[in-house]
Amino acid sequence: MDKLIITGGARLDGEIRISGSKNSALPVLAATLLSDGPVKVCNLPHLQDITTMITLLGQMGIELTIDDKMGVEILAGTIKDLTAPYELVKTMRASILVLGPMLAHFGEAHVSLPGGCAIGSRPVDIHLKGLEAMGATVNVEDGYIHAYSNGGLKGAHIAMDMITVTGTENLMMAASLAKGQTILENSAREPEVVDLADCINAMGGDVQGAGTSTITINGVETLNPCEYTVIPDRIETGTYLVAGAITSGRVKLKDTNPKLLESVLLKLEEAGAHITTGEDWIELDMRGKRPKAVNIKTAPYPAFPTDMQAQFTALNAVAEGTGTITENIFENRFMHVSELSRMGADIHVEGNTAIVIGVDKLKAAPVMATDLRASAGLVLAGLVAEGDTLVDRIYHIDRGYECIEEKLLLLGAKIRRIPS
């Protein structure tokens, strides 16, 4: 397994380009299954999860053309096998996103129950109940979901028990080809959900209210070919902003969208950062000052994202003062705390809250990544720790960050990858 070695102490200063959003690209790639003609998806990040999704579509017999700029043209009508096998689904939970569109367009779907990061229970039953409400027959046998549309899905009024991003996306895709109107209550409001709705509408669908808790979908008979560009990655954006803040440096990020992470920008300003923004760029400048501790409570969008929690835990670890971090989305999402403690961080966890007392210096230590965002937090800590920090199991990082060491090098970090 590859490792990263980070020599701490360099103050970051520079500018980089932000990649397309993984959490937007995955549902948009799944949505190509809805169209009768070719759909081209642009601004895809060069990431393992994206490669897995493209491999999954290819394994179903779908014709794919990939260009040199990570754009993919997908012709779903060439599908031969309506199965998403365990071998691929186990490495990436988002594979469940092919269930809704495959069922709606082709009348049946066989999808393995998902794997992915080991954080908390992510219920798939909301997806299944919603599809049943639309008239599908769903059986779970031998670790596979077998779903049949029985001559076509029908619009339904669905109130989801809890807010789920992939659940909202799956049901929205299924409803786009269902007969009649579907209303999704308690929908996720994330920008990635809005992006998927925009993509369905670009194909000729009729989705209204995305970005609010009630989404209305009027089913259409067919969806058309289109070309669609996914939004920039707000979590990658936030991570590099924290990298600038934690090192008391300055970073400018291009090809991003400040409107997608207002809650994060507010917290960075509270930590003492000077932030300037344009339509598609953000600049953070600490003017050489040490960050101040901030209190954070994670909650569904537009509140503070759980996917930025580990990065702010690292920031608070070296900040002036004491900050509390309350995790309201996933259980056991403080697995990075024990690793940060090995580097000298002063953190106490009580239930779903971490109390972080800022220390003057972290010290390098060998640490291990446990999930995608936790590992980003460890890399950030390594940027300011005295000595060489070795981060192991970085395949977690590669699932969500395109060329993290190359981008950090461009900003002036001392970091290198050691192939296994």
Active site residues: 117
Phi and psi for 413 in degrees, rounded to 5? -75, 155
Would you call 221 exposed, middle or buried from its count of C-beta atoms within 10 A (0-12, 13-18, 19+)? exposed
Whether 166 and 152 have beta carbons less than 8 Å apart is answered as no
Query: 101: which residues sit within 8 A by CB, 6+ positions away?
Result: 30, 31, 33, 34, 173, 174, 177
Would you call 302 exposed, middle or buried from its count of C-beta atoms within 10 A (0-12, 13-18, 19+)? middle
165 closest CA partner among 22, 267, 365, 289: 22
In Å, what is the CA distance from 376 to each residue of 106, 287, 393? Answer: 39, 23, 12
Residue 368: helix, strand or coil by DSSP? strand
Residue type at 113 in one-letter notation? L
359-376: b (≥16 Cβ within 10 Å) or e: eeebebbebbbbbbbbbb
- In this structure, the number of other CB atoms found within 10 A of the CB of residue 338 comes to 14
Q: Give ∠ CA 6-10-14 in degrees, rounded to 5.
A: 105
Phi and psi for 276 in degrees, rounded to 5? -125, 145
